[in-house]
Structure 1
Amino acid sequence: MTSSRAVPNPAFRRLRGQRSPGEFAAAVRRAAREIGEHVACDARYIGRVEAGEIRCPNYAYERVFLHMFPGLTLRDLGFSAREDVRGRAARVTAQRRPPAVPSPTPTPRPAPAWTPVSTAPTNHPSDTSEESDVLRRAFMTTGPATVMAASLGLGEAPAASVPAPRRVGEAEVHAVEEAVRRIRLLDDRHGADGLYRSAAQPLRAAYTLLDAGTTTRRATAHRLYAGAGELSISVGWLAHDSGRFDEARSHYAEALATARIAGDHALEAHAFCNTSFLARDAGQYREAVRAAQAGRRAAARLSSRRLLSLLALREAGGRAWLGDRTGCEQALSQAHGYFERGPSDSDPEWMSFFGEPELEAQEALCHAALGDWARAARHAYRATVLQQPHFARNLALYRAELATDLARAGAPDEAAAAGHQVLDLLDDVQSSRILTKLAATARVLLPHRRLPEVGAFLERHATLKARA
């Protein structure tokens, strides 16, 4: 959790003592292992804490720090109280916590158990905390996610206090796998911002199952490792899409470690794919290329051409931002070549989002990075036309990209029209990534505010910013 008004944290700096940030980060990781927690702490994270950029750690780091310094509170460590950082939403959530182990409502399969989310009012900014509470309760009180939580004795208790189950079997593994599917479904419909905190609970439950080490069948153990790793990537993506880059990096690193332990090349390729995407968004373009290449090496052992296509797109994006036009074009050509060979039964389940619209959208991003705005707009437009409406988050994202590309290509009226279409979707979609793109469009369009269409968009966008 970060703040634009960072205040240095001298208390935390004193606790580090004579150790370097890297040495202290290693101590944090060791302490995490002692209590069965998973954090990817590094010197950069320690530096951000000491600089005051992280006003309050996430729940995993909180448990680790309190374990390292028994008897001290978060305030003693120089952090702000969670409710001070998160505001009203945290206080409302604390008042509305469900029972420790909620009773699931039986729902006939395959009907979705997420109806409360889609009917929750989201069109008023004052309802943000209420919607987050609905999302959290829906996630933790319906379907197999509850089975997983109940099997661990897990309600709102920290993972470190959860007793290990005597045996992990089909029901628990299925619950982990189903939790991954539910998160992806909700993300497709609503975006990441309202889901991230809710999804952390089943993730802790999944790794508690994994750490229990009570699975006897090899096939079951492999599925549990794969499920926990995919769940970590899904939660990492929610952090990524909502602008929590450090937390996303930690989750992706955990998934990669899980893949390496299990010898799971598919999970490894997925982790590298998301790491590459994150590195590109964080401005670390060489890392984006290297991660994509590592993912391609892992995917080469599989039989999914669509996965190779997506990884080639990730590499193309990194190369575009490096200004390597030739390398970008080569990677794009490879991506199209793999894609045109069609889908197969070997394509991972998580790639259900990757069709022609995503291919067009990723190519648009490459051309935009190279400054070819008209070409980028053509591909972004194709993405919006081809995208199915139920992928609401991606449709809003593609339209936001189209608006930005049109604005920079010198078509302000068309950009404003695309911007209006994005705003139409924001009652149901919450994504910091989309809001950032829309803000960029508004800045580019500001010199054209006397045009009626542009003026109307800017006024509507300003109202959105005021409510946020």
Structure 2
Amino acid sequence: MEGNANLAGAMREAGFTQAQLAQAVNEYLCLHGYDGTVSDRTVRNWLSGRTRWPHPRQREALETVFGCTAQGLGFSPPPAIPPTTEPESPVRRRNFLTATTGTAAAVVVPITDSRPAAVGTSDVIRLRSGLDALMDLDRARGGHEGMERAALAGASEAIAKQRHAASQRIRQRLFSVAANYTATAAWSAIDARQLDRAQRFLDRALYLAGMAKDPVAELRAWNSYAMLAHQRDQFAEAVDAGYAAQATTMARREPFYNSLAHARTAVAHANLRDRRAAIRSLGYAEEALAKASQEEPRPSWVSFYGVAELCAIQAIVRDRIGDAAESEAASHRALAMLPKHFRRNRGLATTRLALAQLHQGEVEQACATAATVFELMAGNPIPGRMRSLLGDYYRDLISLAPDAAVAQEWGDRFRSEWSRA
């Protein structure tokens, strides 16, 4: 007996175990007023091919959960049974209907189901693909109002589909999608330096992550809280947010996420000038990242993090605690590994490199390095967070070398680019 490879593949893609699929089908049936009698054994019969054509209500539930036809899921209807009697004459049937008192006319009017189609796995997958597109935009251009609006629209669509979800599992997955869209809007606001809006979005994202029971979305929100606190110079709050990220289920379970949480905490410690704690957190981040699997599939929002980004974070930490030479070396390592299409990240790392050079007294080299940021971001407005960092560079430049000709030239270029952006 041949197994049902189509159904097995659909279950893998959706992340269903046999028990979870049985639960999803039963939830759909109960939602529509039927008893949920599907068990693990029922699903095994579907997978083994023992049951080739499920009950009509079960087929309807399966089609809704997976967003495709029963045939697309590998099921096949039984062959048609030929009629054993001569078909009724259309003329005879028409004469019978017209001979009645009118009740037959009411019977033959088709009854339409006005209920909206239930939302299933295919809808969740479609919504998630929009998140990937926004992350591609972020890597190239950085946060901006258009990206923020698109993210909020995605979150609204996910929430609107809640009322038509085929099962409680689908409802939770929609909450997860909404949490990630809202966190994307928050991140875009942080990158654009719209910090009050970012705070509101993060509060909402954390609530939605809790409703979704999604530890990755929860960690994402705390990671962004730490960055928001950093942008507001609330460094003690940034440490607290870093600790909250470390305490999430995903950070405790997965070295990759544990590394990100410790790296973010290291920046907060460095901003408080707590050298020992900052270096200790960096060490934890490096150890955890070395243990992380490189093959594990992860959401697109976290694709920025890896060895290159950790080097960029090391550059920030080292510069903050006064190790400018080590910061310069870390920046060079980061730029050697950051992908070319991560334009915003490369721009930030380049500005950090210029700061490290400036803090070592290499004014001309630092100005030449900082000027390349404008070429790197040509064609797009400079995101608010990068503009702020370039402003930090300019303030340090005029403080350390106010009379240098190269400093005055760079200042003119900076003001020109600031106006353009």
Which ranges of structure 1 fall in alignment gaps of 5 or more residues? Answer: 1-163
Q: CA deviation at 1:289?
A: 1.4
**Residues 306 and 347, structure 1, Cα contact 8 Å, conserved in 2:** no
**Residues 275 and 321, structure 2, Cα contact 8 Å, conserved in 1:** yes
Q: Are the structure 2 counterparts of residues 194 and 201 from structure 1 closer, same or farther at C-alpha, using a change threshold of 3 Å?
A: closer
Q: Paired residue for 1:409, among 355, 360, 372?
A: 360
1:109-120 counterparts in 2 under 5 A? Answer: none
**Residues 299 and 308, structure 1, Cα contact 8 Å, conserved in 2:** no
Q: Are the structure 2 counterparts of residues 387 and 218 from structure 1 closer, same or farther at C-alpha, using a change threshold of 3 Å?
A: same
Per-residue displacement from partner, 1:210-240 (whole Å, max 9, x unpaired)? 5x42212243223212111111111110000
Per-residue displacement from partner, 1:423-454 (whole Å, max 9, x unpaired)? 10222343111111112222222364665654
Q: Paired residue for 2:237, among 280, 287, 300?
A: 287
Q: CA deviation at 1:319?
A: 1.2
1:319-468 counterparts in 2 under 5 A? Answer: 319-342=269-292, 343-345=294-296, 347-429=298-380, 430-446=382-398, 448=401, 453-468=406-421
**Residues 316 and 327, structure 2, Cα contact 8 Å, conserved in 1:** yes
Q: CA deviation at 1:300?
A: 4.8
Per-residue displacement from partner, 1:196-223 (whole Å, max 9, x unpaired)? 443255235335325x422122432232
Paired amino acid for 1:208: I
Residue of structure 2 equivalent to 1:67: none
User: Would you say 1:219 and 2:169 are equivalent positions?
Assistant: yes
Residue of structure 1 equivalent to 2:97: none
Q: CA deviation at 1:348?
A: 4.1
Q: CA deviation at 1:274?
A: 1.3
Q: Paired residue for 1:167, among 114, 118, 121?
A: 118
Paired amino acid for 1:392: R
Distance 2:251 2:245 in 1: 10
Per-residue displacement from partner, 1:335-370 (whole Å, max 9, x unpaired)? 000111243416444221112221011111112222
Q: Are the structure 2 counterparts of residues 296 and 442 from structure 1 closer, same or farther at C-alpha, using a change threshold of 3 Å?
A: same
Q: CA deviation at 1:382?
A: 1.8
Question: TM-score by structure 2 length?
Answer: 0.67
Paired amino acid for 1:413: E
Q: Are the structure 2 counterparts of residues 356 and 464 from structure 1 closer, same or farther at C-alpha, using a change threshold of 3 Å?
A: same
Per-residue displacement from partner, 1:283-340 (whole Å, max 9, x unpaired)? 1222211211121121457642111101001111111112221111111110000111
Residue of structure 2 equivalent to 1:304: 254
Q: Are the structure 2 counterparts of residues 209 and 173 from structure 1 closer, same or farther at C-alpha, using a change threshold of 3 Å?
A: farther
Which ranges of structure 2 fall in alignment gaps of 5 or more residues? Answer: 1-114
User: Would you say 1:277 and 2:227 are equivalent positions?
Assistant: yes
**Residues 364 and 380, structure 1, Cα contact 8 Å, conserved in 2:** yes
**Residues 190 and 392, structure 1, Cα contact 8 Å, conserved in 2:** yes
Q: Report the secondary structure of 2:165's partner residue.
A: coil
Q: Are the structure 2 counterparts of residues 233 and 411 from structure 1 closer, same or farther at C-alpha, using a change threshold of 3 Å?
A: same
Corresponding residue pairs, total: 304
User: Would you say 1:231 and 2:184 are equivalent positions?
Assistant: no
Structure showing greater radius of gyration is: 2
Q: Are the structure 2 counterparts of residues 165 and 394 from structure 1 closer, same or farther at C-alpha, using a change threshold of 3 Å?
A: farther
Question: TM-score by structure 1 length?
Answer: 0.60
**Residues 399 and 422, structure 1, Cα contact 8 Å, conserved in 2:** yes
**Residues 335 and 349, structure 2, Cα contact 8 Å, conserved in 1:** yes
Query: Which region of structure 1 is more displaced relative to structure 2, 422-431 or 340-349?
Result: 340-349
Per-residue displacement from partner, 1:363-413 (whole Å, max 9, x unpaired)? 111122223323222212221222111111111111111112222221111
Q: Are the structure 2 counterparts of residues 405 and 206 from structure 1 closer, same or farther at C-alpha, using a change threshold of 3 Å?
A: farther
The sequence identity of aligned pairs, in percent, is 25
Distance 1:225 1:467 in 2: 39
Query: Which region of structure 1 is more displaced relative to structure 2, 348-357 or 230-239?
Result: 348-357
Q: Paired residue for 2:144, among 182, 193, 202?
A: 193
**Residues 189 and 428, structure 1, Cα contact 8 Å, conserved in 2:** no
1:15-164 counterparts in 2 under 5 A? Answer: none
**Residues 242 and 261, structure 2, Cα contact 8 Å, conserved in 1:** yes
Q: Report the secondary structure of 1:353's partner residue.
A: coil
Q: Are the structure 2 counterparts of residues 251 and 356 from structure 1 closer, same or farther at C-alpha, using a change threshold of 3 Å?
A: same
Residue of structure 1 equivalent to 2:193: 243
Q: CA deviation at 1:245?
A: 0.9
Per-residue displacement from partner, 1:43-83 (whole Å, max 9, x unpaired)? xxxxxxxxxxxxxxxxxxxxxxxxxxxxxxxxxxxxxxxxx
**Residues 292 and 315, structure 1, Cα contact 8 Å, conserved in 2:** yes
Residue of structure 2 equivalent to 1:177: 128
Distance 1:198 1:428 in 2: 21
Distance 1:467 1:260 in 2: 41
**Residues 307 and 347, structure 1, Cα contact 8 Å, conserved in 2:** no
Q: CA deviation at 1:194?
A: 5.0
Distance 2:199 2:327 in 1: 28
**Residues 331 and 353, structure 2, Cα contact 8 Å, conserved in 1:** yes
**Residues 165 and 171, structure 2, Cα contact 8 Å, conserved in 1:** yes
Q: CA deviation at 1:177?
A: 0.6
Q: Are the structure 2 counterparts of residues 368 and 206 from structure 1 closer, same or farther at C-alpha, using a change threshold of 3 Å?
A: farther
Q: Report the secondary structure of 1:195's partner residue.
A: helix
User: Would you say 1:317 and 2:263 are equivalent positions?
Assistant: no
Paired amino acid for 2:354: A
Paired amino acid for 2:260: L
